[in-house]
Amino acid sequence: VGGVRGLWGFVEGGMGAITHALAASAQAHGTQIRTNAPVATVLTRDDTATGVVLEDGTEFQANVVISNADPKRTFLQLVERDALPDEFVAQIESYQCEGTSFKLNLGLGELPDYSAFPGTALGPQHRGTTHICPSMEYLERAWDDAKYGKPSEHPLLEITVPTAYDPTLAPDGKHIMGIFVQYAPYTLKGSTWTEQKEAFVQRVLDTLTAYAPNLPRAIEHVHALSPLDLEQEYGLTGGNIFHGALSLDQLFFMRPALGWARYATPIRNLYLCGSGAHPGGGVTGAPGHNAAMEILRQG
């Protein structure tokens, strides 16, 4: 993005192409991959991980177990409570994992025609990211709503059009748009996301339409993910896309817990390799790389 190497970018073929590339590489080295095989329990004996049990009862023995799930799901759902020290459990229980992000994916019949940069022909206004956040005061008001358990009345929008870079992601003449929306608290005061989702989607669309008036006629498909959807569909506890808040008290040597930031856990041979480990969220591959290096180091 932006023509500068080292900035973030789009994946040719969509984000799933990364998964397929990793899977192909692993399989080429003899790895067996099972999908639709959720883990129910991490097996332990004498404070050591010995394997996993799937939800269908299938049991696997292993010398090392590596979890890419978030810390809360890993330690509070998959591991028996008695296998962990009380102090560590207390740290994980207090680990802040409630997200405030809402994702909206649109299928478009034409590109947005921005009032500030008119035209539906592909241009620089459709590349990179477009942010709808007119001022710091606007941002502060959006966050104020979330602090009190309400979806932002005037949300902040971060917009990308991946087809501006990779037209193969949509049929000829069509486009996809991703909108990262702030703020949408996981826990709503006096309501639920089942009740609020449709209205919030319309609020987001109205906000963007004020800047791109052709949007209503351009939209051909809408796919919305509330924080609750992110939790239920993708296993992200609290709907947090980074496996936990990227706050100062949950970074560096404190991610996910003080004394446990080097991918190993209180259970021998159980490791974390996801965004709930240092350095945190985003698709960098760094937590996985670092975890692998630590496992090799420990032999």
Bigger pLDDT: 244 or 9? Answer: 244
Banded model confidence at residue 2, pLDDT cuts 50, 70, 90: low
Q: What is the pLDDT of residues 115-153, one digit of tens each?
A: 999 999 999 999 989 999 999 999 999 999 999 999 999
- pLDDT, residue 5, reads 72
pLDDT at 232 over 80: yes
List the beta bridge partners of residue 221.
107
What's the CATH code, domain 101-234? 3.30.519
CA–CA separation, 299 vs 286, rounded Å? 20
Summarize the confidence of residues 67-87 as an average pLDDT. Answer: 97
pLDDT at 201 over 80: yes
Summarize the confidence of residues 275-290 as an average pLDDT. Answer: 94
- pLDDT, residue 79, reads 98
- pLDDT, residue 55, reads 97
Locate the domains of the chain by residue range.
Answer: 34-96+240-298, 101-234
* The two three-digit tokens of residue 29, written as one number: 């080295």
- pLDDT, residue 191, reads 97
Element (H, E) at 23: helix 16-28
Summarize the confidence of residues 208-227 as an average pLDDT. Answer: 98
For residue 118, give the nearest of 209, 213, 204 by alpha carbon.
Answer: 213
Query: Could you give the percent of the chain with pLDDT greater than 70?
Result: 98
Summarize the confidence of residues 263-291 as an average pLDDT. Answer: 96
- pLDDT, residue 3, reads 66
Sheet with 59-61, edge to edge strand ranges: 39-45, 48-54, 59-61
What's the farthest any 2 CA atoms get from each other in the chain?
66
Mean pLDDT in the chain?
A: 96
* The two three-digit tokens of residue 249, written as one number: 């008290």
Summarize the confidence of residues 175-192 as an average pLDDT. Answer: 98
Banded model confidence at residue 70, pLDDT cuts 50, 70, 90: very high
pLDDT at 203 over 80: yes
* The two three-digit tokens of residue 28, written as one number: 């080429």
What's the CATH code, domain 34-96+240-298? 3.50.50.60
CA–CA separation, 230 vs 187, rounded Å? 13
Summarize the confidence of residues 178-194 as an average pLDDT. Answer: 97
